Amino acid sequence: MFQSASRANVSRPTLRTVVALSMYLWLVLPGFAQRPLQTLLVGVDRRDQTTLNGDWHYLVDQSPGRALYTANGEVNDKSYAMNDHPHIVGSHNDEYDFSAAPTLKVPGDWNTQVPQLFNYEGVIWYQRDFEALPKAGTRTFLHVGAANYRSHVWVNQKRVCDHEGGYTPFDCEVTALLHPGTNFVVIAVDATRLADGIPSVGIDWFNYGGLTRDVSLVTVPRAFIDDYDVHLAHGPEFLPGNTELSGYVHVLDAPTGTAVTIAIPEAGVTATVKTDAEGNAPFNVKATNLTLWSPGTPKLYKVTLAAGEDKLTDDIGFRDIRVDGTRILLNGKAVFLQGANVHAEAPVRGGRVNSDQDVATIFGYLKEMNANFVRLAHYPHDERMEREADRQGIMIWSEIPNWQHISFDKSEVYAKDVAMLHEMIRRDRNKASVILWSVSNETPNNSTRTTFLTNLANEARTLDRTRLITSALNTTHIQGNSATLPDPFADALDVIGVNQYIGWYTGKPEDADSIQWALPQKPVIMSEFGAEAKFGNHGATNERWTEEQQVYVIQHQFVMFKNIPQLRGITPWILADFRSPTRNIPKLQDGYNRKGLISEDGKKKQAFTLFQKAYAEHSVGKPE
Q: CATH number for the domain including 252?
A: 2.60.40.10
Q: In what order do the strands lie in the sheet with 103-106?
A: 103-106, 54-61, 123-132, 181-190, 150-155, 158-164
pLDDT, position 73: 87
208, 148 Cβ separation under 8 angstroms: yes
pLDDT, position 91: 57
pLDDT, position 85: 58
Please check whether residues 250 and 327 belong to one and the same domain. no
Write the CA distances from 332 to 106, 371, 436, integer angstroms: 44, 20, 16
Model confidence at 14, in pLDDT bands (50, 70, 90)? very low
Model confidence at 71, in pLDDT bands (50, 70, 90)? confident
Please check whether residues 357 and 267 belong to one and the same domain. no
The answer on pLDDT for 38 being more than 90 is no
599, 535 Cβ separation under 8 angstroms: yes
Domain contains 622: no
Domain contains 294: yes
Helix (H, G, I), strand (E, B) or coil at 338: strand
- Number of structural domains (the chain) is 3
pLDDT, position 435: 98
pLDDT, position 94: 65
pLDDT tens digit sequence for 517-536:
999 999 999 999 999 999 99
Domain contains 88: yes
Please check whether residues 265 and 158 belong to one and the same domain. no
Model confidence at 305, in pLDDT bands (50, 70, 90)? very high
CA angle 198, 202, 208 (to 5 degrees): 70
Q: Report how far Cα 445 is from the mean position of its chain's Cα atoms.
A: 24
Domain end residue (candidates: 301, 319, 337): 319
pLDDT, position 87: 58
CA angle 83, 216, 424 (to 5 degrees): 115
pTM assigned to the model: 0.93
pLDDT, position 26: 35
Domain contains 1: no
pLDDT, position 1: 33
pLDDT tens digit sequence for 322-361:
999 999 999 999 999 999 999 999 999 999 999 999 999 9
- Show the beta-strand stretches assigned E in 400-541: 434-441, 468-473, 477-479, 482-484, 495-499, 516-518, 524-528
Domain end residue (candidates: 162, 189, 221): 221
Domain end residue (candidates: 255, 287, 319): 319
476, 490 Cβ separation under 8 angstroms: no
What integer is the mean pLDDT of 279-308?
97
The answer on pLDDT for 594 being more than 70 is yes
3-state secondary structure 283-314: EEEECCCCCCCCCCCCCCEEEEEEECCEEEEE
Give the residue from 569, 571, 541, 567 showing the smallest Cα distance to 556: 541
19, 415 Cβ separation under 8 angstroms: no
Please check whether residues 258 and 147 belong to one and the same domain. no
Q: CATH number for the domain including 467?
A: 3.20.20.80
Tell me the C-alpha distance between 369 and 358, whole Å: 17
Domain contains 171: yes
Give the residue from 343, 411, 414, 402 showing the smallest Cα distance to 374: 343
Please check whether residues 298 and 202 belong to one and the same domain. no
The answer on pLDDT for 463 being more than 80 is yes
CA angle 227, 385, 577 (to 5 degrees): 145
Domain contains 106: yes
pLDDT tens digit sequence for 135-169:
999 999 999 999 999 999 999 999 999 999 999 99
Q: Which domain, by its residues, includes 53?
A: 7-221
pLDDT, position 92: 57
- Residue 233, exposed/middle/buried by CB under 10 A (0-12, 13-18, 19+)? middle
Domain contains 2: no
pLDDT, position 514: 95
What's the start-to-end Cα distance of the chain, in Å? 40
Please check whether residues 186 and 334 belong to one and the same domain. no
Please check whether residues 315 and 335 belong to one and the same domain. no
Please check whether residues 137 and 193 belong to one and the same domain. yes
Tell me the C-alpha distance between 489 and 486, whole Å: 9
What integer is the mean pLDDT of 57-62?
93
What type of residue sits at position 590? D
Tell me the C-alpha distance between 118 and 130, whole Å: 28
pLDDT tens digit sequence for 81-140:
988 755 555 555 567 889 999 999 999 999 999 999 999 999 999 999 999 999 999 999
pLDDT, position 66: 83
Tell me the C-alpha distance between 155 and 82, whole Å: 9
Please check whether residues 106 and 123 belong to one and the same domain. yes
87, 95 Cβ separation under 8 angstroms: yes
pLDDT, position 84: 72
Model confidence at 63, in pLDDT bands (50, 70, 90)? confident
Residue 429: CB atoms within 10 Å: 21
Domain contains 98: yes
Q: Mean pLDDT of all residues in the chain?
A: 92
The answer on pLDDT for 288 being more than 50 is yes
Q: How many CA atoms are closer than 13 Å to the CA of 375, on its beta-carbon side?
A: 33
What integer is the mean pLDDT of 439-454?
97
Please check whether residues 422 and 438 belong to one and the same domain. yes
Please check whether residues 311 and 328 belong to one and the same domain. no
Please check whether residues 583 and 472 belong to one and the same domain. yes
